[in-house]
A and B are shown apart, each in its own frame.
Chain A
Amino acid sequence: MKHSTHATVFARALSLSRDFAARAALLSIVAALSVVAASAQQASSNMGPAFMSGTPGTYAIRGAHIYPVSGPDIENGTIVIANGKIAAVGVGVSVPSGARVIEGRGLSVYPGMIDLGTSMGLIEITEQGATGWVDTQEVGELNPNARAFYGINPHSAHVAVTRVNGVTTVLSSPQGGLVSGQSALVNLLGATAPEMAVERAAALVVNYPRSGGGGGGFGGFFAVQQQPGAADAATQRERQVEQIRKLLRDAEAYGRAWDAANADAKLPRPDRDVVLESLVPYVRGQRPVVFRVDREADIRAAVRFAEEMKLKPVILGANDAWKVASFLKEHNVPVVITGVLDLPNREDDAYDLMYENASKLQAAGVQFAISTGDTAANVRDLPYHAGMAAAFGLPRDAALRAVTLNPAQIVGAGAQLGSLEVGKIANVVAADGDLLEARTNIRHLFINGREVPLVSKHTELYNQFKDRK
């Protein structure tokens, strides 16, 4: 029984790619040329303390149409929010004294939506010249201990812009490399990352190497330059998989070594290693490992790899998931599809191929969530991704579930989030119509049981300019 040291893990990471130095040189040139002139426009009239942290209290929405998602719809129902949690839901629920009552006539009440495919807070502006505001990707290929939690900017303008559309929770993930790091599950409210966090280390993100090369990191760019033969690509892929495998085995060994040492004081205590230690819950299948893969062969390979390593896999991306729906069902692997609105890959694919991915997974009984796959700016469009899937065969209640309860369960937060059930975190959205419709307006928003003003950078600029003559 042996385990790697911290140093060897990183030595391996550094020796991984021969062209690392060239990449670093390129990056620094690009960075130097990019003009960083980002000036945040944050503070203004409506953005007071409630904008940042909400208003805690006891609330009741009375006489509304309630969609608990976990159970049948409730006509003329009441929901009570107290101490940050859902205290009661149903018909004839009594309203506690002192509660602020919202008359719910004409309102539909839903759990807040959840997007598992974002990098919220890690990046403000995606292209052209704001490199001082990008924290999505660490250097090197194996960064299991890079945690989104420490990079999230709670005051990103995207946070409020997203939540006022009814998306209240996101999984924010690092990107790049083979093992990108660990995602944080955060509510979109709070003055600090700890205030936002539901789970600081919610998932491990793996860019499982693509068959044919071009997997994580900058591989795509350099693959074009190098034009490796198919055999080379297969070899490279095997090498990359082996690197991930070895890292995970080391972590497993590390965990067992500590278990043994804890059980028997006579045994030597292993050196502490923060990288391997952070991986232990994942190699023991206690927390999900998110594999970013799209293509059929890669989905199969990732699932087999996860089973070999006894991980708890989630497939993210999954444009080809419909092709392997029965395989996914058979292996009981959940999927987060980010490509509902992607163009089909091949010219002769059916025009609605990607729209239909979700309904095919539903028909096969696969557990799945729908995500925008967007870093931040367009996460507010999550309901319309689900709506498009529903236009092409997914039952409407399944579409709603795919952006609420399913993502909560997939990321291991099903007991806390995703439905309107007593005891769950009170992330509650009251709208004047169907939550997934583009014409619907959100009227009331609660996150962590706190009422959140429906204000964002966008409403502020709207108010500033709408009456200019």
Chain B
Amino acid sequence: MRKMFALLVALTTLAASLAGASAQTQPQPRRGNQRRGAPPTKPESGTPSAADSASAAGAAGDVLIRNATILTASHGTLAGSDILIRRGKIAAVGASLRAGSDVRVIDATGKYVTPGIIDCHSHSALDAINEGTLSVTSMVRTRDALNPNDINVYRALAGGVTAQNSLHGSANTIGGQNVVMKMKYGRPAAEWLFGAPPGIKFALGENVKRSNNQNFIIVGQPQPPRRYPTTRMGQEEVLRDAFTRARNYKRDWDEYRAAQTRGERNAVPPRRDLQLEPLVEVLEGKRFVHAHSYRGDEILMLLNVAEEFGFRVKTLQHVLEGYKVAPEIARHGAGASSFADSWAYKLEAYDSIPYSSAIMTRAGVLVSINSDSSERARRLNIDAAKMMKYGGLTEQEALRLVTLNPAIQLGIDARTGSIDVGKDADIVIWNGHPFSVYSRVDQTYIEGELFFDREQDIKNRAALQREREELEKAEPNQAPSAGTPAGAPRPNRRPGGHDDEDTDGGHDNR
């Protein structure tokens, strides 16, 4: 089924690419797409629309990256080595690889290659994904709110990110279903999905408490309704109640199916419940739980409830006090996806320490570092590098925090997360060591296709500037005569970088 879909995409892409090539005299698709780079610009002439978007999408040509230092994330660092990309996959890794004349060769002498970075907690490309009106909103899905035009996806690509876990907000104990996507900026959102296992967001602690709508009181306005729960006690009870109901619901269906199997013709199916269906999938181990959590006590509470109902928490998200209960997390078998070093932005974050990832790793917990921020997503390589200092992880352990480990946590490690033959060619070329603050991304590939190219980005700027000036001259865009300021208010870097309780899209909203 998935393969058929992929084939369909490939055929559509090829057809569109050919159309684009003929309309714009682009290089042949087999030679790879040179136009990837900045947000797609309008062609100098000719009609836009189909041809334009096709050229932006391009086709994945075969590529040979030659003579790089390769940090594989799975089997160490390879000096002076090559990577051959065929049909979007890593076909070979080694020294002095050979390739046919139809393969585009990139000389990466002096450069570094890593797997694409995977951000295990993001709200970029999402609009309004904090359905906190009920305590259990397992029926809603972030995939229904994907915004493929969010420029922050492109900015993350420019920081080497190739996939992200697009999560619901943290206003309620059981939130909505997440989606894992590749950062295929310029493509329709449907093409960003690649069959990653389904998941769901849970949340514990203060965000759930304060989200019972008491904190935003406007003088003279009627009070918004209060929502249960408003304590950590209530959060435990919400979980227990929801999974008790899910267990009953599963039993009803199991009994119905058993009756059908027995040939009982009068068996009546239970009424479908879209809220409980995903929770049944959790009970059956078919849906991953990603649980926003801070304090050690609430982490233990969740692990206990999960063990009582017979499921395993896939990842604890943020998990700031994970270091205090690392042995318990390891025994449960949950992964931990944390910030590198954020702390003290809330009281429940006051005991957060940057050594937490190292302590949990040493305790046997699978750990990743995430951004939860469109800003911070752009420099997860540096967040990983910090973990060598804070607790002394090795270079490969640190690199895995943002590549292979999140891939395992999201169930996509057969596809991506390391430089290994057979995996998707999700690859980043850096102009220096990826853990150096002085380095930057030269190119980012997803499935062998170039989605960020610094050189091309810079080349496109003059054309973009001209386009902007043209648009500013257009009558509907004239500034009002009284002098309304140009530009939006300054975005705030920090608050959104910590916490997703009020996330209302991919824009680091407070």
Tell me the A residues contacting B by CB distance below 8 Å.
22, 25-26, 29-30, 33, 37-38, 41, 124-130, 157-158, 210-212, 214, 220, 229-231, 234, 294-295, 297, 319, 339, 341-348, 350-352, 373-374, 376-378, 380-381, 383-384, 386-388, 390-392, 396, 436-441, 457-459, 461-462, 465-466, 468-469
Contacts and interface: CB of A to CB of B under 8 A. Distances in A.
B351 to A, nearest CB: 6
Nearest to A466: B359
Given A126-B345, A350-B461, A438-B385, A391 B439 contact: yes
A234 B482 CA distance: 9
A377 B326 CA distance: 24
A384 B345 contact: no
Given A125-B347, A130-B347, A351-B155, A342 B489 contact: no
Nearest to B322: A465
B489 A220 contact: yes
B263 interface: no
B435 A438 contact: yes
A339 B437 contact: no
A290 to B, nearest CB: 17
Interface string B363-390: 0000000000011000100100110110
Interface in B343-369: 343-351, 353-355, 359, 362
Contacts of B348: 128
Given A33-B215, A345-B490, A378-B494, A352 B437 contact: no
A47 to B, nearest CB: 15
Contact of B493 (A343, A396, A459, A466): A343
B195 interface: no
Contact of B457 (A343, A350, A466): A350
B415 interface: no
A436 B217 CA distance: 44
Given A345-B487, A351-B457, A461-B353, A437 B437 contact: yes
Contacts of A376: 344
Question: What's the dominant secondary structure at chain A's contact region?
Answer: loop
B215 A439 contact: no
Interface in B165-222: 206, 210, 214-215, 217-219
A409 B436 CA distance: 28
A122 B408 CA distance: 42
A465 B344 contact: no
Contact of B485 (A37, A212, A383): A212
Given A33-B215, A439-B388, A465-B359, A339 B493 contact: yes
A343 B210 contact: no
B484 A383 contact: no
A225 to B, nearest CB: 9
A127 B346 contact: yes
Contact of A25 (B219, B354, B391, B439): B219
B491 A342 contact: yes
Contacts of A457: 353
A440 B351 contact: no
Interface in B245-288: none
Contact of B379 (A229, A388, A441): A388
6 contacts: A126-B344, A128-B347, A130-B347, A295-B485, A341-B493, A343-B155
Nearest to A35: B347
B152 interface: yes
Interface in B299-358: 323-324, 326-327, 341-351, 353-355
B206 to A, nearest CB: 6
Interface string B132-148: 00000000000000000
B48 interface: no
The 4 closest A-B pairs by CB, nearest first: A387-B437, A230-B482, A212-B485, A462-B355
Given A343-B374, A462-B359, A214 B489 contact: yes
Contacts of B487: 295, 345-346
A378 B342 CA distance: 7
A459 B392 CA distance: 13
Given A126-B495, A127-B346, A128-B348, 6 more contacts: A33-B215, A37-B347, A38-B350, A128-B345, A384-B382, A458-B343
B353 A458 contact: yes
Contacts of A396: 438
Contacts of B359: 462, 465-466
Interface centre among A157, A341, A374, A386 (most CB of B within 10 A): A341
A155 B300 CA distance: 32
Contacts of A344: 155
A394 to B, nearest CB: 10
B264 to A, nearest CB: 54
A302 to B, nearest CB: 15
A391 to B, nearest CB: 5
Contact of B437 (A33, A438, A465): A438
Contacts of B440: 352, 391-392
B173 to A, nearest CB: 18
Nearest to A349: B151
Nearest to B354: A458
Contact of A348 (B439, B464, B489): B464
A263 B323 CA distance: 67
Given A347-B151, A458-B353, A342 B490 contact: yes
B483 interface: yes
Interface string B464-501: 10001000000000001011110111110111001100
Interface centre among A38, A157, A351, A378 (most CB of B within 10 A): A351
A129 B347 contact: yes
B219 A230 contact: no
A338 B120 CA distance: 28
B196 to A, nearest CB: 26
A347 B508 CA distance: 14
A158 B435 contact: no
B154 interface: yes
Contact of B488 (A211, A345, A391): A345
Contact of B484 (A22, A157, A230): A230
A214 B491 CA distance: 14
Nearest to B150: A347
B158 interface: yes
Nearest to A383: B437
Interface string B86-110: 0000000000000000000000000
Nearest to A156: B344
Given A212-B485, A348-B468, A458-B353, A29 B490 contact: no
B327 A158 contact: no
Nearest to A130: B347
A149 B164 CA distance: 44
B154 A351 contact: yes
B39 interface: yes
Contacts of B489: 214, 220
A344 B436 CA distance: 23
Contacts of B350: 38, 124-125, 157
Contact of A441 (B385, B389, B437, B439): B389
A377 B468 contact: no
Contact of A343 (B346, B375, B484): B375
Interface centre among A295, A374, A396 (most CB of B within 10 A): A295
B438 A129 contact: no
A230 B324 CA distance: 54
Contacts of A341: 375, 379, 493
Contacts of B385: 437-439
A390 B158 contact: no
A30 B154 CA distance: 38
Interface centre among A37, A124, A437 (most CB of B within 10 A): A437
